[in-house]
Amino acid sequence: MTIETASVAGPARQLAREVLIHGPISRAELGQRLGLSPASLTRLSKPFIDRGLFVDAPGSNDGALGRPARPLDVLVDSQRFIGVKITADQVFGVATDLRATPLASAVVDLDGEDRHTPERVIAAIADLVADLGGVDGITSVGVTLGGKVVRSSVADRAPFLGWRGVDLGTLVGDALGVPVIVENDVTALTAAEQWFGEAKGIDNFAVVTIGAGVGYGLVIHGHPVVTSDTGLGLGGHFPLDPTGPLCFEGHRGCSTAMLSIPSMCASARGGLGRDVGYDELLDLAIAGDPVATAVVDAAARALGRLIAASANLAMVETVVLSGEGIALADAKLDLVVATLRADRDPEATPVRIIVDRAGFSAWARGAAAVAIQASFV
């Protein structure tokens, strides 16, 4: 069943959003959150119940006499979404329910000399969607990539693909025959953390991602901070170590130079005299190899400084760490935290660090989340 929530407006849309994010939730709490009377709440929720989007969750009387309360919840299986993350080498995707819970995953390699052409990428996305069961029963598809996206459709700048002004949403939508939402990957991952992740219910937090690059997202007063410069990767060039290596833009010791997987592996290669993968680099550091330890410890200190800068400048008390390179935080969490504390006022509120260990699948889940959001905001 497909529920056309996009046709709902005003208080009804706000109601659907609250139940999606916070359900199961009591009608009393919903009324308080939305400023609705019991009669108005009943009137607004009835169409959703009749159409199968809302269900009555198991009741609880909380020890009181009389009829049990009947919290409202969404029927998470009533809709399906697909999230697709595009990288330089692969497209990775997940099929999810209405709360962005992954139900299946698939990956398609991008290879050949034409691997970065829009035609090749769109064909790979179509193959990926087919591997996930096709579009039958799918409400919409979210697609994310590293770069600047405008109008939820156009990849205005995607350097890793060499794209400028590619209307990816229209092209993929025409190929699949379903609505397609395109978004910057860090913006989408931030949305997933806010609506469905560990940051759900937190009004102010930052997101730091580590992987092929370094990303930064911010939510203030419950609203993601999105500007005309979103997608340019500005957080990836924050200065962290004046003695560090150079990034591809020539910035010495910026967050990309210190924390991205390619830069860390390149730094280790110079000392080890051979190529080394990211997982091996972390394992060598844990085992005490001096070269690997120097590289990984420098990255851990840089991560602590970046978290501190995020908290100090944005005045948030929660920072979510995510991305396919997040194993660094687990390998050297004590050093990350010690550096964070050293860069904070000793009387400042301790920063809560949330580590999202979903790895690469977190990116695709973020893509699904923006497709879900498009139906509810």
pLDDT at 67: 55
Same domain, 349 and 217: yes
Task: Please state the length of the chain.
Answer: 377
Is residue 103 exposed (0-12), middle (13-18) or buried (19+ Cβ within 10 Å)? middle
- Which amino acid belongs to residue 338? A
8 Å CB contact between 365 and 129: no
Residue of 132, 145, 19 whose CA lies nearest to 80: 132
Same domain, 223 and 339: yes
pLDDT at 260: 97
Same domain, 308 and 370: no
pTM of the shown model: 0.90
Residue 126 has pLDDT above 50, yes or no: yes
Same domain, 246 and 186: no
List the alpha helices (DSSP H) in 107-222: 118-131, 168-176, 185-195
Predicted confidence band of residue 10 (pLDDT cuts 50, 70, 90): confident
Contact residues for 289 (Cβ-Cβ < 8 A; gap 6+): none
Q: Kindly state the DSSP code that residue 7 receives in the 8-state scheme.
A: G
Range of the domain at 159: 79-190+363-374
Number of domains comprising the chain:
3
- Cα separations (Å) of 50 from 5, 81, 164, 306, 365? 13, 22, 45, 49, 29
Q: What is the CATH number of the domain that holds 219?
A: 3.30.420.40
pLDDT average, residue stretch 161-187: 97
Q: Which two tokens stand for residue 154?
A: 């156009």
Predicted confidence band of residue 4 (pLDDT cuts 50, 70, 90): very low
How many H-runs (helices) and E-runs (strands) does the chain carry? Answer: 13, 15
Going edge to edge, which strands form the sheet with 90-96?
Answer: 102-109, 90-96, 80-86, 138-145, 180-184
Residue 3 has pLDDT above 50, yes or no: no
Q: What is the tens place of the pLDDT at every residue in 210-259?
A: 999 999 999 999 999 999 999 889 999 999 999 999 999 999 999 999 99
Q: Distance between CA atoms of 17 and 223, rounded to whole angstroms? A: 14
Same domain, 72 and 95: no
